Amino acid sequence: MEIKGIVAVVTGGASGLGRATAEKLVATGARVVIADLAPNGEEVAREIGGGTRFVAADVTNTEQMDAVFDVAQELGTLRAVVHCAGRGGPIRVVDREGNPGSLEVYETVVRINLIGSFNVLRLGAARMAKNEPVEGERGVVIMTASVAAFEGQIGQIPYASAKAGIVGMTIVAARDLASHQIRVCTIAPGTFDTPILERVKEDVREALAAAVPHPRRLGRPSEFALLAEQIIANPMLNGETIRIDGAIRMPPR
């Protein structure tokens, strides 16, 4: 699909991988609406420029996400959704004191990452299903999993469960939406240098970078954005989760 002239919604677009994707899409000629909870969303949209809009929205909230897609459709034809919003929340199955892990934390992390992904997918796809096809396509949805979907580490039980759910959803969604001529792919990043890692100490960051076989460094958000751009552009990419991780395979901890 040609990116020039399309409208794209980027969730989590106020930071990290989402922000880099919004920047890339604007540079390629798309109009972008950022959906995020971040208080600096307006500022980020201004910095990105190109008429980028920010709508404060929680991806798990249907009304708020509907408002995001309304704004997108005011700008033109919504053809792409890149869903990057998400976050972790560490617990163990049984904690060090022998108590069962928090069901509340588990539910919250699954709600934000997995339920939020389905909410964005279903609402975005319903809008796109009404588009006129261009070269046999109505639109594309990209979701964000993690290598934790495949090799979750100790403490990542809710996050890994949610991200694995997104991977599982991908082929089903692509099959469901094939008759609507909408594609669905998922990107599973390894370790990327985003504000998520700002809270991590320098020696831990260095260890994370050193664990990547090649290139031996953290991923750059622009490299995630490059893959998102390619997925939108390439009509044969569908129903697949693509790892972008420098060949990292996470150890248990």
Contact footprint for ligand NAD (CB under 6 A) = 11-12, 14-18, 36-38, 58-60, 84-87, 112, 116, 144, 146, 189, 191-192, 194-196
Cβ proximity of 95 and 148 under 8 Å: no
Q: In whole angstroms, what separates CA 160 from the centre of its chain?
A: 15
- The structure tokens listed for 177 are 């939406």
The residue sitting closest to ligand NAD, measured at its beta carbon, is: 16
Quote the least distance from Cβ 2 to ligand NAD, whole Å: 26
Quote the least distance from Cβ 30 to ligand NAD, whole Å: 19
Angle made by CA atoms 31, 35, 38, in degrees to the nearest 5: 125
Quote the least distance from Cβ 126 to ligand NAD, whole Å: 19
Beta bridge partners of 148: none
- The structure tokens listed for 12 are 């989590």
CA gap 175, 178 in Å, rounded: 5
Helix, strand or coil for residue 165?
A: helix
| Residue with Cβ nearer ligand NAD (170 or 181) | 170
- The structure tokens listed for 106 are 């588990």
CA gap 219, 225 in Å, rounded: 11
Quote the least distance from Cβ 134 to ligand NAD, whole Å: 28
Quote the least distance from Cβ 41 to ligand NAD, whole Å: 8
Dihedral angle computed from the Cα positions of residues 111, 117, 119 and 124, in that order, rounded to the nearest 10 degrees = 160
Considering the candidates 54, 69, 106, 159, report the single residue annotated as catalytic.
159
| Residue with Cβ nearer ligand NAD (129 or 197) | 197
| Stated length of the chain | 253
| Residue with Cβ nearer ligand NAD (17 or 140) | 17
Q: Which of 203, 61, 79 is nearest to 135 (CA)?
A: 79
CA gap 70, 72 in Å, rounded: 5
- The structure tokens listed for 180 are 């609507």
| Residue with Cβ nearer ligand NAD (60 or 241) | 60
Cβ proximity of 143 and 170 under 8 Å: yes
Quote the least distance from Cβ 181 to ligand NAD, whole Å: 26
- The structure tokens listed for 187 are 């990107």
| Residue with Cβ nearer ligand NAD (175 or 216) | 216
- Active site annotation includes 159: yes
| Residue with Cβ nearer ligand NAD (86 or 158) | 86
Active site residues: 159
